[in-house]
Every structure is written in structure tokens, then in C-alpha cells.
Amino acid sequence: MDTQKIKKLADQYSPKQLEACIFQQLSKGKNECEIVDGSDEVITALSKAEVVRELMDQGKTFSEALRELARRIRAVYGKEE
């Protein structure tokens, strides 16, 4: 999912709404956040948008939040290798 879609989700939904959409996708295979794709891709996109939105709510800009998300993802992959 590209950054524009993540930004749209982060701007449009609160972290709690994004979490609810993740739960809906896991339990029902569809969600109210209007994302239609494979379940793995949807959950990944919603999770990224949730983290970005939480960081934006803490006062970070979208760009700063996206960089922080990327740093966190790299840290997880770095520990697994």
C-alpha cells in the first residue's frame, strides 16, 4: 500500500476506528474502513495507518510519523535476521 492510502486512512479514521476495522477484517473478512484487498494486505495497511495516526495525534507530522513507522519496521526485521 502506498503512502497516500496510508495518509488517507490515518486522516479519516481514529486509532480506535482503525483497530475496529482490523478486528472486523480478522473476524468477518471485510471491514468498514472501505479497504478491499487480500486480508493480509488489508490488515497490514490498517495497522500501518493506526500507528501513523497515533503518532500524528502525539503531534508529529505525517512525514515524521511515516519515518518513525519505517524505523520501527526496520528494527523488527533487523532483529529477526
What's residue 1's pLDDT? 57
The end-to-end CA distance of the chain, in Å, is 24
Distance CA 22, CA 59 (A): 24
Q: Over the stretch 39-78, which tens digit does the pLDDT of each residue have?
A: 788 888 899 999 999 999 999 999 999 999 999 999 988 8
Please report, as a single letter, which amino acid is at residue 23. Answer: F
What's residue 35's pLDDT? 73
Q: Over the stretch 5-42, which tens digit does the pLDDT of each residue have?
A: 899 999 999 999 999 999 998 998 888 887 767 778 88
Domains in the chain: boundaries? 3-80
Q: Which of 37, 39, 46, 38 is nearest to 15 (CA)?
A: 46
Query: Of 2 and 48, which is predicted with more confidence?
Result: 48
pTM of the prediction?
0.78
What's residue 31's pLDDT? 86
